[in-house]
Amino acid sequence: MILYKADDALMCKVFAMTLRGAAQDWFHTLPSASIGNFKEFAIIFTKEYTFYKTVRKHADHLFNLRKKPDESLRDYLRRFKAEKANIIGCDDQVASSAFKGLPTEHELYRELAITPSQTLAEVFATAERYALWDDDRISAKKASKQVDHSTKQASQKSNKFEQKARDKRRSRPQEESSETGTFTEFAIPINQILAQVKDKPWVRRPPPMKGDPSKRDTSKYCAFHGEHGHYTNNCNAWKRHLEELVREGHCTEFVAKKAIQQIEDRDVAAKEPPQKVIRINTILADSQESELTTKERKRKIAQATYVSQVTTGVPAVGDTPIIPVM
């Protein structure tokens, strides 16, 4: 362009050819015949791109650098060195004094404050030692978090397993719960009894089983419910209903002989009236009683008291006070 500096039109065209990207796009947006010479072109271009000019930083900029709360000492040291490298002609003594953007409770800050007259190389060497210690501390903290996380995951898996076990137990119908009732003994298995009486009008079907059907054991089938989940012989709902049928006089032909007497004894006990105690207190008094002294009267009343008690098997109640007849 020095060869053609006398020709403004040629210089404008050559300068436009050096533009790239956004600058080239900007050049094509200029109105036609809006530039008269190269000087005018330079002024317009400079005005457009003045804001993109990089401002040189001064060494005082380093005093504004502060270690972030979540930033490691090594990252702060790396950032400080990068900022210093961007400052042309930065004095090492100024940089050494500026390297104190640390929290006042930090160990490195305390050491730099105690020994302030250090060269920048000595400051960086001290910082490197503390950075190694800081790295070890962070690594230990991360390892501890990983252990805690693994323990938490194991605990969550255990809780999840226990929850599945609880859900599985809930999914089982109430009939399969471990009841501690005593049932009548039958001569044949109760699933065979159901097969013979299932069409009888007095056999009442149970409500649907509770729980998630997809979680039941499909290898077990209950003919009383008509669903999978447990065997008919283990169905407590059928056992309870069978007890009701026996009390109502049904299915008695299936009852074992030794259980018949137990049922009869149970029915007799249920029909017996409640036991009572009848106490009759009778007081016999003499017509000459009024002539006796108080002491003699009490003795005579005690001798004359006749108690008739009729007991039906329950212990007699306590004595009631005896009121003398005057």
Going by pLDDT thresholds of 50, 70 and 90, the confidence category of residue 144 is confident
CATH of domain 59-146: 1.10.1200
Instruction: Determine what percent of the chain is predicted with pLDDT higher than 70.
Output: 68
Question: Is residue 248 within 8 Å of 280, Cβ to Cβ?
Answer: no
- pLDDT mean over 178-182: 50
Better-predicted residue by pLDDT, 181 or 306: 181
Q: What's the confidence (pLDDT) of residue 99?
A: 85
DSSP 200: S
Per the prediction, the chain carries an average pLDDT of 76
Q: How many CB atoms lie within 10 A of CB 74?
A: 16
Question: Is residue 172 within 8 Å of 229, Cβ to Cβ?
Answer: yes
Residue 304 pLDDT > 60, yes or no? no
Question: Is residue 191 within 8 Å of 223, Cβ to Cβ?
Answer: yes
Q: What's the confidence (pLDDT) of residue 192?
A: 92
Q: What's the confidence (pLDDT) of residue 25?
A: 84
- For residue 228, the SS3 value is strand
Going by pLDDT thresholds of 50, 70 and 90, the confidence category of residue 307 is very low
- pLDDT mean over 252-267: 74
Better-predicted residue by pLDDT, 249 or 54: 249
- pLDDT mean over 27-39: 84
> Over the stretch 7-24, which tens digit does the pLDDT of each residue have?
778 888 888 888 888 888
pTM: 0.33
How far apart are the C-alpha atoms of 277 and 279, rounded to whole Å?
A: 6
Q: What's the confidence (pLDDT) of residue 231?
A: 92
Residue 1 pLDDT > 70, yes or no? no
> Over the stretch 43-75, which tens digit does the pLDDT of each residue have?
888 887 776 666 677 888 888 888 888 888 889
Name 130's Cβ contacts closer than 8 Å, sequence gap at least 6. Answer: 73, 107, 108, 111
DSSP string, 141-182: HHHHHHHHHHHHHHHHHHHHHHHHHHHHHHHS-GGGS-----
How far apart are the C-alpha atoms of 140 and 134, rounded to whole Å?
A: 10
Going by pLDDT thresholds of 50, 70 and 90, the confidence category of residue 299 is confident
> Over the stretch 132-141, which tens digit does the pLDDT of each residue have?
988 888 888 8
- pLDDT mean over 143-156: 73
Strands 305-311 and 277-283: antiparallel
- pLDDT mean over 163-182: 54
- pLDDT mean over 218-236: 90
Indicate the domain borders of the chain: 8-52, 59-146, 190-271, 275-326
Q: How many CB atoms lie within 10 A of CB 281?
A: 14
> Over the stretch 77-107, which tens digit does the pLDDT of each residue have?
999 998 888 888 888 888 888 888 888 888 8
Q: How many CB atoms lie within 10 A of CB 324?
A: 14
> Over the stretch 237-247, which tens digit does the pLDDT of each residue have?
999 998 898 88
